[in-house]
Amino acid sequence: MTKQSIILLGHGSRSEEARNDFNFIIETMREKAPEKNIYGAHMELASPSLQEVVAELHAQNITDIFILPYFLYNGNHIKIDIPEIIEELKAKYPEMQFELGQPIGKNPAMADIILQQVQ
């Protein structure tokens, strides 16, 4: 039996500092939920890509994938680009199940985080 894998999908950046910040979130998630199978992927400008991570999971016979967009809003990446990539992945790996979560921005906890940053 394989457990579900979670892919936190960020935009990606050429900036090493931005990539390090993203990797910090991935590592923190892994520390807080060691029982989860957590990976990070990027839409563009950095690697690994979503396609590369899914190929790696496929090679490990993991078939249940939850993709969580590390985005604030329902922009074009969320509405168009990511669903198109997922459709391509479904065609390439028909035995795999993909679920796309909602971007994190429309979560009431975001207001608390913003207010905390202001103080």
Q: Residue 40: in which H helix or E strand, if any?
A: strand 37-42
- Residues taking part in catalysis: 11
Nearest to 25 by CA among 6, 49, 4, 53: 6
- Burial class, 62, CB count within 10 angstroms (exposed 0-12 / middle 13-18 / buried 19+): middle
Alpha helix segments (H runs only) across the chain: 16-32, 50-59, 76, 82-92, 109-118
Asked if 116 contacts 110 with a C-beta cutoff of 8 angstroms, the reply is no
